[in-house]
Structure 1
Amino acid sequence: MDIKTDLSLDAKGLACPMPIVKTKKSMKDIEAGQVLEVLATDKGSKADLAAWAKSAGHQYLGTVEEGDVLKHYVRKASDEDSQETKHDKVVNNEELQNVRSDENALILDVRESAEYAFEHIPEATSIPLGELDDRADELDRSKKVYVVCRTGNRSDMAAQKLVEKGFENVYNVVPGMSEWSGDTTSLNK
């Protein structure tokens, strides 16, 4: 599984608490919303990094094991939870669940590729928000587009962008993946 990250930290051979110490330091080198990959060999680092990310307000995405190396993925906290939504067509997760099998519906996941890789709605198409301007033409304009992210903020911005580009039936899904209880899959399943 190839996961796009913004920075990679080599913490191989280090024992607790050093992977956390180095991760904390590296988080200062990336922007809010970006993804840090932490390479570690300490088996305890999985639980340690997940707990640290939660306590620090970051999003622990998951871990991929490749031989003796654990590749951890952490998304730096952003202020997206507190931002106000502006797109007027909003649906909730239950409404999205009801349209999943509708052939005239398209589910667009605008989270970072690493977030999508670890968990996404099976029918969802992935185009990260930062790539949407360049890739919007990949989407079928005749369909109703349901835009999902983690909490509804990035999807709100994406919905506004799509409307500006001439898409007519665009819906922001709130609260999004942070509270999604329907089926999910990942790229490593």
Structure 2
Amino acid sequence: MNREVLSLTNIQTDKVLDAKGLACPMPIVKTKKTMNELEPGQVLEIQATDKGSTADLKAWCDNIGHQYIGTIEKGEIIHHFVRKGGEEIEEIKYPHLIENEELARKLESNEQTIILDVREPSEFAFHHIPGSISIPFGELEQRMDDLNKETEMYVICRTGNRSDLAAQKLTQLGFKKVFNVVPGMSEWKGITEKLID
């Protein structure tokens, strides 16, 4: 998208949602609620500052049946544009789950595990499970060759939302043994490490 040519004044919207300063999963939570107030075909502008919101909103729109129109970045603010789909469909949830406690037990017993952390690099830098692989959700398709499709993989994010979408995507791309970790890093009580001092 050519951000030089597009301007906010060229895009007609029916409603504006202020999600500035909110981190995942709140931009999606607020977007879901606001979309329920719109008629099919109407356009919502979501103003956010969370860098991960672009990948999150695109995946959510694909999953639920809305159209992700595009993004314009102005300074620190990301302006997302979403058109409400006609029929509201049931949001698909990835069926293969593992709870935090069960994953912690696997790690304690030194079972061979691959943990894929799909949060943004800044989230990973401050707090992650030792040995986990950092591939932000928005980079997953470009970096899937870094992963073995036959290996058992545990996908984690902050709350289980991004990892749910990532697990669905990996399964669509041919990965065989994928599990979504719930409720994710927001409630992880096991060992963590950080990349910064």
TM over 0.5: yes
- Superposition deviation, residue 123 in structure 1: 1.6
CA distance in 2, matches of 1:149, 1:85: 18
Q: Give the aligned residue type for 1:161.
A: K
Q: 1:143 aligns with which of 151, 154, 160?
A: 151
Q: 2:111 aligns with which of 102, 127, 137?
A: 102
- Superposition deviation, residue 152 in structure 1: 0.2
CA distance in 2, matches of 1:120, 1:85: 27
User: What number of residue pairs does the alignment pair up?
Assistant: 119
- Superposition deviation, residue 135 in structure 1: 0.5
Gaps of 5+ in 1: 1-25, 36-75, 77-83
- Superposition deviation, residue 142 in structure 1: 2.4
- Superposition deviation, residue 98 in structure 1: 1.9
Instruction: Judge conservation of contact 2:118–2:134 (CA < 8 Å) in 1.
Output: yes
Any idea what the Cα deviations from partners look like across 1:90-136, whole Å, max 9, x if unmatched?
Answer: 11001111222222x21000000000001000121000000001001
Any idea what the Cα deviations from partners look like across 1:110-168, whole Å, max 9, x if unmatched?
Answer: 00000000100012100000000100110122211100000000000000000001001
1:167 corresponding residue in structure 2: 175
SS in 2 for 1:157: helix
Q: Indicate whether 1:93 and 2:110 are aligned.
A: no
Instruction: Judge conservation of contact 2:21–2:50 (CA < 8 Å) in 1.
Output: no
Gaps of 5+ in 2: 1-19, 23-45, 53-77, 79-90
Residues 31 and 145 (structure 1), Cα distance of their counterparts in 2 relative to 1, 3 Å cut:
same
CA distance in 2, matches of 1:123, 1:157: 22
Matches within 5 A, 1:108-127: 108-127=116-135
Taking structure 1 as the reference length, what is the TM-score of the superposition? 0.56
Q: Indicate whether 1:183 and 2:179 are aligned.
A: no
> How many percent of aligned residue pairs carry the same amino acid?
49
SS in 2 for 1:107: strand
Taking structure 2 as the reference length, what is the TM-score of the superposition? 0.54
